[in-house]
Amino acid sequence: MSEAEQTQQRLSELSRRLEEGAGRLGADDLEPDEAMRLAGECADLASQAAVELDRLTRHSPGDPVPGQEELL
């Protein structure tokens, strides 16, 4: 598996975890302390996703990113 594919897998996992966190934040029965903890967790996940996106964009141009077609 290429580095770009591994990065995309990590991004998919981070996205899934962010969606779960957002869903829990939207719950009506959420305590304020738990909401604060979840918000911090989502901020950490978003930061990790930014690092992965940066890594993906800096990927060597000779190795195409999966899912991206070359324009002629």
* Residue 44 reports pLDDT greater than 90: yes
Residue 37, domain member (yes or no): yes
* Residue 40 reports pLDDT greater than 70: yes
Range of the domain at 31: 3-57
Residue 71, domain member (yes or no): no
Quote the pTM value: 0.73
Longest dimension (CA), the chain: 54
DSSP state of 59: S
Question: Are the CB atoms for 46 and 22 separated by under 8 Å?
Answer: no
Tokens of 38: 């979840």
What count of other Cβ atoms lies within 10 Å of the Cβ of residue 21? Answer: 20
Number of domains in the chain: 1
